[in-house]
Structures are given as structure tokens and as C-alpha cells.
């Protein structure tokens, strides 16, 4: 026969399940906060839109394979008065027709329609180089977007940790106020019984006011940090709690910090894309000296108010009288362009070399900061192991001195000193845990892997 659970066991099980569900909710809030940041932060949205624009830039370069086809129609009224010879076409609109025997200022109508096609099917690698450059720009834009997302998530977690610390310290201050309120009441009782001087009650009241002022100051800092967190997340916070008190009771469980490669850091990837884009730009510039093959064709109709014998026929110019077509091909060579392009190539080559050195500097800086962050995390873990011992000792001392004060063996100052030590020890424990999580976040930031923090947090 199966054993039945007692009401006490059922109640205990229900409490444990409720606490576990609440803890999971606290853990999931940070994920919601990061998701909200990616969706709402304006700079991230701007970088994403720029990436989309760069995608269209690839299509624009690829579309140059499409021929240019222009349809046109014109109607005009002009004099029939011509002379043969060459005229530079800029700023002068030529009037077509046979040479007139004398100056003839009679006006007549004319019309024309044409369909012109121009196509560059072969660019000897220039189109391909331009397309590859556009793809390189897209990869750079995407790397920039990924770096922005990564950095903003780090900023948000950091602000969230700051808010959680200030919120927890405000609770520590409230506990200190509660102890002071108890001491005020106790001193009043002892003063009334004649066991303690009347100044003790006034001194404890002054200490209570000071503690309340300190609490107000911390609450102001906490509220300001919440404003900053809201701004960093894009102006809106997810619904629900914003802190996790378990942060200041749980040590990050990461074991041995993994060795990280700087090549995987978003900042390094962005710089790598900068080098690649500069190399592609240099290749594209060198293609400017390649020949071009252009195919063209034209078909048009022409109407004129001037007959073949030179007679002006007026309105006959509104209808087409002659139809023509033409096709052709042109192969052009920029013979001297190479001499104009060499300084530009040299400039771009130096820019590319500079971007490689910047990449090396970025790797060096991140590698150094990553090592420092690892050292700081290990030291923070050492501190977080011993601060609870300080708190236990301070609490024991406070309770002992408070008992002696009640017996009249010590004075007011001893109680206040023990109370301040207890308060400071409580704050030190919160700060120690905060520093451990903050150091892990810094390690994740310089390792380029935010999951190093999130994995430890969700355990």
C-alpha cells in the first residue's frame, strides 16, 4: 500500500515548488531584459537598418548588368535655317535638316520618338569587384551591428547589477534602521528604570535620524540607477521584478575559466571586416583601368515640317515620315588612367596596412584586458568566501555587546560601534557578491562571450 504524504510534508513540498518557480521567474527576467534591449534600443535598430541598406547596395551593384533602355518623344517648333560644319554640342541645341539656300526664319513643326539601349555586358572584372566590395561592406555592417548588440547587452547587465546592489543595500540600511528603532525603545525603557542615563535615549534618536537620511540617499541612487537601466534598455522595462536578491547569496559557479580566442570577440571581428573591406576596395580601384565593352542600339521615327525639296510644309511635322535604326559596339581603353590611379592605389594600400595594425592593437588590448578580468574574478571569489565570516563575527559581537548594554556593563558608544560594524559587514557581503558577478561580467565582456555570465547566472 502506497504511503500517503502528511499535510506538513505536502505544505513543505508546495513551498519548495513555489520558491523554485519564483527563482526561475527571477532568472528569466534578465533574459527578457536583454531581449527587450535588442528590440527597442534605437542605436541597435539603426545599425540593423544600415545592414539592410547595405544588402540593397549589393543588389544595386549586381543590377548594373541590366541594360539601360530609354524611350523618348519630342515635339518642337523651330526655324529652318541651317549651315554645315561642326559645333561643340554643349549649351547649343542643333537644328537638323538640309542646308538652306539663304537665311530663312520661317518656323515649322517637327517631332521625333526614339528607343535607345545601352549595355555593358563585359566589364573585365570591374562589376565583380564592385559586387564583392558591396558584400564586404555588408559583412562590416553586420559585424558592427553584432558588436553594438554585444556591448549594449553588457551595459544593460552592468546597470542591472548596479541597481540590484543599491536595492539590496537599501534593505541593509532598513535593517540598520530597525535595529536602531529597537535600541531607541530599549534605551527609553532603561532610562525610565534608571539603569541608563537620559542622554542614551537622545543619542539613539540622533543615530536613528542619521540612518534614515542615509537610507533616503541610497534610495535616491537606486531610483537613478533604475532610470539609467530603463534608458539603456530602450526606454521600456519588461513587466515584473527588476532585481534578484539571490545574486548576493550565490557564488558564480564557473569552475576553471575557459581560454578564449581574441578572434571570436565581436570587436576583433569588426576590425577584421575593416581589413577585408579595405582590401576589396583596393581591388575595385585597380579595376578602374580595365577596358569597357559597350553595346548600343537605337530605333527612332522622325517627322519634319520641311519637305525633301526644302519646302516648308508646316503641320506635316507632327507625323513621322522617316524611320531608322542602328546598332553598334564600342570597346574603350582608359590609356592614361593608370597614371592617375597609382596615387589612389598607394593611398588605399596605406589605409589597408593601417587597418591591419589597428587589428593587431585591438587583439593586444582585448587579450590584456581579458587576462586582467580573469585575475580580478579569481580575487573577487577569494573575497566572497571570507566576508560571511566577518558578518558572523560582527553579528555575534553586536548581540553580545547589546546584552551587556542591557545589563549596564557597557555604554551607548560601544553599542553604536558594534551596530555600525554589523551594518558595514552586511554591506561588505553584498558588495563582495556584487564584485564577483561584476568581475565575471567583465570577463565575459573581454572574452567576447556573454554566455559565460548567463550560463553561470542560470545555474
Contact present, 37 and 44 (Cβ < 8 Å): yes
What is the average pLDDT across 244-273?
A: 84
What is the average pLDDT across 400-408?
A: 84
Q: Residue 369 pLDDT more than 90? A: yes
pLDDT digit string, tens, across residues 410-444: 888 888 899 999 999 999 999 999 999 999 999 99
Quick one: pLDDT at residue 2? 45
List the helix and strand counts (H, then E) for the chain. 8, 4
* Closest to 237 measured CA to CA, from 249, 246, 225, 219: 225
Share of the chain above pLDDT 90, in %: 54
Share of the chain above pLDDT 70, in %: 87
**For the chain, what is the mean pLDDT?**
86
Q: Residue 1 pLDDT more than 60? A: no
Give the phi and the psi of residue 330 in degrees, each rounded to 5.
-135, 130
Q: Which has the minimum average pLDDT: 116-120, 223-227, 292-296, 319-323?
A: 319-323
pLDDT digit string, tens, across residues 331-360: 988 899 899 999 999 999 999 999 999 999
Strand order of the β-sheet with 322-332 is 68-79, 107-122, 292-304, 322-332
- Environment class of residue 308 by beta-carbon count within 10 Å: exposed (0-12), middle (13-18) or buried (19+)? exposed
Candidate ranges 97-101, 309-313, 392-396; pick with highest mean pLDDT: 392-396
* Closest to 185 measured CA to CA, from 450, 448, 413, 406: 406
CATH-assigned architecture of domain 29-61+128-281+339-458:
Up-down Bundle (1.20)
Taking the CB of residue 423, how many other CB atoms lie within 10 A of it? 21
pLDDT digit string, tens, across residues 2-34: 455 555 554 444 444 444 444 455 568 899 999
pLDDT digit string, tens, across residues 40-93: 999 999 999 999 999 999 999 999 999 999 999 988 888 877 776 666 666 666
Quick one: pLDDT at residue 17? 47
Quick one: pLDDT at residue 319? 86
pLDDT digit string, tens, across residues 273-297: 999 999 999 999 999 899 989 998 9
Quick one: pLDDT at residue 26? 58
Quick one: pLDDT at residue 268? 96
Quick one: pLDDT at residue 305? 82
Quick one: pLDDT at residue 389? 92
C-alpha torsion sign, points 345, 350, 354, 360: positive
Could you give the angle at the alpha carbon of 439 between the alpha carbons of 438 and 442, nearest 5°? 90
- Environment class of residue 252 by beta-carbon count within 10 Å: exposed (0-12), middle (13-18) or buried (19+)? buried
Quick one: pLDDT at residue 440? 95
Q: What is the pTM of this model?
A: 0.82
Quick one: pLDDT at residue 184? 82
* Closest to 139 measured CA to CA, from 57, 38, 51: 51
Amino acid at each position: 500500500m502506497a504511503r500517503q504524504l502528511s499535510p506538513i510534508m505536502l505544505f513543505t513540498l508546495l513551498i519548495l515548488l513555489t520558491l523554485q518557480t519564483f527563482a526561475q521567474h527571477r532568472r528569466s527576467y534578465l533574459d527578457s531584459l536583454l531581449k527587450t534591449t535588442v528590440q527597442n534600443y534605437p542605436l541597435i535598430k539603426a545599425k540593423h537598418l544600415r545592414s539592410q541598406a547595405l544588402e540593397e547596395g549589393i543588389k544595386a551593384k549586381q543590377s548594373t548588368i541590366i541594360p539601360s533602355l530609354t524611350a523618348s518623344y519630342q515635339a518642337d517648333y523651330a526655324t529652318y535655317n541651317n549651315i554645315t560644319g561642326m559645333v561643340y554640342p554643349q549649351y547649343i541645341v542643333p537644328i537638323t535638316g538640309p542646308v538652306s539656300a539663304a537665311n530663312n526664319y520661317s518656323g515649322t513643326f517637327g517631332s521625333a520618338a526614339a528607343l535607345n539601349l545601352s549595355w555593358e555586358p563585359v566589364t573585365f572584372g570591374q562589376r565583380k569587384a564592385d559586387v564583392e566590395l558591396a558584400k564586404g561592406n555588408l559583412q562590416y555592417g553586420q559585424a558592427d551591428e553584432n558588436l553594438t548588440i554585444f556591448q549594449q547587452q553588457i551595459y544593460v547587465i552592468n546597470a542591472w547589477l548596479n541597481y540590484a546592489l543599491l536595492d539590496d543595500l537599501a534593505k541593509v540600511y532598513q535593517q540598520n534602521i530597525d535595529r536602531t528603532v529597537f535600541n531607541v525603545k530599549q534605551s527609553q525603557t532603561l532610562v525610565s528604570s534608571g539603569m541608563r542615563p537620559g542622554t542614551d535615549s537622545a543619542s539613539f534618536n540622533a543615530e536613528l535620524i542619521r540612518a534614515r537620511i542615509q537610507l533616503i540617499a541610497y534610495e535616491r541612487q537606486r531610483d537613478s540607477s533604475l532610470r539609467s537601466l530603463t534608458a539603456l534598455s530602450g526606454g521600456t522595462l519588461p513587466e515584473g521584478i527588476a532585481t534578484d536578491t539571490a545574486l548576493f547569496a550565490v557564488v558564480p559557479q564557473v569552475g576553471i575559466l575557459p581560454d578564449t580566442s581574441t578572434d571570436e570577440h565581436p570587436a576583433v571581428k569588426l576590425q577584421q571586416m575593416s581589413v577585408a573591406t579595405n582590401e576589396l576596395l583596393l581591388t575595385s580601384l585597380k579595376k578602374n583601368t580595365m577596358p569597357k565593352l559597350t553595346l548600343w542600339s537605337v530605333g527612332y521615327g522622325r517627322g519634319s515640317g520641311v519637305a525633301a525639296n526644302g519646302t516648308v510644309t508646316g503641320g506635316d511635322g507632327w507625323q513621322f515620315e522617316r524611320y531608322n535604326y542602328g546598332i553598334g559596339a564600342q570597346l574603350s581603353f582608359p590609356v592614361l588612367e593608370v597614371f592617375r590611379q597609382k596615387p589612389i592605389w598607394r593611398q588605399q594600400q596605406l589605409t589597408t596596412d593601417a587597418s591591419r595594425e589597428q587589428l593587431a592593437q585591438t587583439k593586444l588590448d582585448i587579450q590584456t584586458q581579458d587576462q586582467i578580468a580573469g585575475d580580478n574574478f579569481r580575487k573577487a571569489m577569494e573575497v566572497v568566501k571570507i566576508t560571511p565570516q566577518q558578518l558572523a563575527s560582527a553579528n555575534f559581537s553586536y548581540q553580545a555587546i547589546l546584552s551587556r548594554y542591557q545589563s549596564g556593563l557597557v555604554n551607548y558608544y560601544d553599542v553604536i560601534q558594534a551596530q555600525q560594524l554589523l551594518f558595514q559587514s552586511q554591506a561588505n557581503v553584498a558588495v563582495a557578491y556584487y564584485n564577483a558577478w561584476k568581475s565575471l561580467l567583465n570577463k565575459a565582456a573581454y572574452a567576447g562571450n556573454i554566455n559565460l555570465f548567463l550560463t553561470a547566472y542560470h545555474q
